[in-house]
């Protein structure tokens, strides 16, 4: 289970709009 999901993946950061 969870193949392909990496717990050490980079955290997503929202780019501020504008």
Per CB under 8 A, residues contacting other proteins are: 1-2, 4-15
Q: Which is nearer to other proteins, 11 or 18 (CB)?
A: 11
CB of 7 to other proteins, least distance (A): 4
> How far is residue 10's CA from residue 7's CA, in Å, rounded to a whole number?
9
**DSSP per-residue string spanning 1-17:** --TT--TTPPPP-PPPP
CB of 13 to other proteins, least distance (A): 7
> How far is residue 8's CA from residue 2's CA, in Å, rounded to a whole number?
13
């Amino acid at each position: 289970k969870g193949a392909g999901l990496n717990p050490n993946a980079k955290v997503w950061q929202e780019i501020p709009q504008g």
